[in-house]
């Protein structure tokens, strides 16, 4: 039962907190996404290829990338560095998302997108690119060795100069990782998520055809206890991290889950 409740908590925090709204002032990370980078990805693919009897799998993937980009590959991208994205909350309980990619030259990345027609129109205003990609309008700007991409120009003035600080140790430890900070999440959003969880439980407690009084009472009592425990988990959790680790020294993959409770809560005492 505890594993089930923890799973529901992770889903609620990692997906629910990623509901984009708008942002204005100083922002704090609510949900951070970490990808270890292209070189690490290809190294992992090579491991899977060796284990599966296809030692050239990584070379085949790189060839497909070259074909898809008309021989350009990831020109302009620093393949050795991690990528990431974050949903940030401001003092007005609003959220906005931006992602960051390590680059040597953003202009080359944009030109590749134009060459393969992934980008339809591009406008350059100072150092900010306005990009029409399908139905989406994106804004991109290079700051130092990072390209920041978002859906509105204003957010580009609020990004953190060194996004590696947001990722922490996640790129070193995991191929792909998600970290949700409950304490930074807007209260209105937390209340909304909790209300949705309660609504889901209440819907599931409806009496089913042919169910006896004893069966119904047992099932609803268990559901109410589970809801109470999940509500406690939700309110007393400080941070949740979910990470996929590829251990090439052991030819293995692991999925790590970490939950940090708020200090002074009953959950922290367990």
Q: Distance between CA atoms of 232 and 266, rounded to whole angstroms? A: 9
Is residue 201 domain-resident? yes
Closest CA to 34 of 182, 259, 240, 243: 243
Is residue 209 domain-resident? yes
Is residue 269 domain-resident? no
pTM above 0.85, yes or no: no
Q: What is the pLDDT of residue 26?
A: 65
Q: What is the pLDDT of residue 8?
A: 46
Is residue 270 domain-resident? no
Is residue 253 domain-resident? yes
Check if the beta carbon of residue 203 is closer than 8 Å to that of residue 211. Answer: no
Q: What is the pLDDT of residue 255?
A: 95
Q: What is the pLDDT of residue 184?
A: 85
Is residue 199 domain-resident? yes
Check if the beta carbon of residue 23 is closer than 8 Å to that of residue 90. Answer: yes
Q: What is the pLDDT of residue 99?
A: 96
Q: What are phi and psi of 17, to 5 degrees?
A: -70, -10
Whose tokens are 């497909």? That residue is: 64
Token output for 221: 């009592």
Check if the beta carbon of residue 256 is closer than 8 Å to that of residue 241. Answer: yes
User: Going residue by residue through the chain (270 aa), what tens digit of pLDDT does each one get?
Assistant: 444 444 444 444 444 444 443 333 467 899 999 999 999 999 999 999 999 999 999 999 999 999 999 999 999 999 999 999 999 887 777 788 999 999 999 999 999 999 999 988 999 999 999 999 888 999 999 999 999 999 989 889 889 889 999 999 999 999 999 999 988 888 787 888 888 888 888 888 888 898 898 999 999 999 899 888 888 887 888 899 999 999 998 999 999 999 988 888 888 777
For residue 218, what are the domain limits? 2-264
Q: What is the pLDDT of residue 33?
A: 97
Q: Distance between CA atoms of 12 and 196, rounded to whole angstroms? A: 9
Check if the beta carbon of residue 44 is closer than 8 Å to that of residue 175. Answer: yes
Total count of residues recorded for the chain = 270
Q: What angle do CA 10, 4, 31 make, to 5 degrees?
A: 0
Q: Which SS3 state, helix, strand or coil, does residue 210 take?
A: coil
Number of domains the chain is built from: 1
Is residue 51 domain-resident? yes
Q: What is the pLDDT of residue 161?
A: 85
Q: Distance between CA atoms of 26 and 18, rounded to whole angstroms? A: 18
Is residue 161 domain-resident? yes
């Amino acid at each position: 039962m505890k594993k089930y409740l923890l799973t529901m908590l992770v889903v609620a925090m990692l997906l629910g907190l990623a509901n984009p709204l708008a942002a204005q002032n100083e922002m704090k990370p609510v949900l951070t996404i970490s990808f270890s980078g292209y070189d690490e990805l290809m190294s992992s693919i090579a491991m899977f290829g060796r284990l599966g009897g296809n030692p050239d799998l990584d070379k085949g993937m790189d060839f497909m990338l070259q074909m898809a980009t008309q021989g350009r590959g990831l020109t302009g991208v620093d393949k050795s560095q991690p990528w990431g994205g974050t949903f940030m909350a401001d003092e007005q309980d609003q959220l906005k998302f931006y992602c960051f990619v390590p680059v040597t030259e953003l202009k080359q990345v944009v030109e590749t997108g134009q060459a393969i027609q992934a980008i339809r129109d591009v406008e350059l205003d100072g150092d900010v690119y306005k990009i029409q990609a399908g139905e989406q309008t994106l804004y991109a700007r290079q700051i130092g060795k990072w390209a920041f991409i978002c859906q509105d120009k204003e957010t580009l003035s609020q990004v953190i100069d060194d996004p590696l600080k947001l990722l922490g140790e996640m790129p070193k430890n995991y191929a792909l990782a998600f970290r949700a900070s409950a304490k930074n999440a807007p209260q209105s959003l937390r209340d909304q998520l909790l209300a949705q969880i309660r609504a889901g439980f209440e819907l599931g407690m409806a009496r089913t055809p042919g169910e006896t009084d004893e069966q119904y009472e047992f099932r609803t009592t268990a559901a109410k206890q589970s809801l109470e425990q999940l509500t406690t988990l939700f309110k007393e959790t400080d941070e949740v991290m979910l990470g996929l680790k590829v251990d090439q020294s052991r030819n293995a993959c692991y999925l790590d889950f970490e939950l940090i409770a708020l200090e002074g809560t009953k959950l922290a005492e367990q």
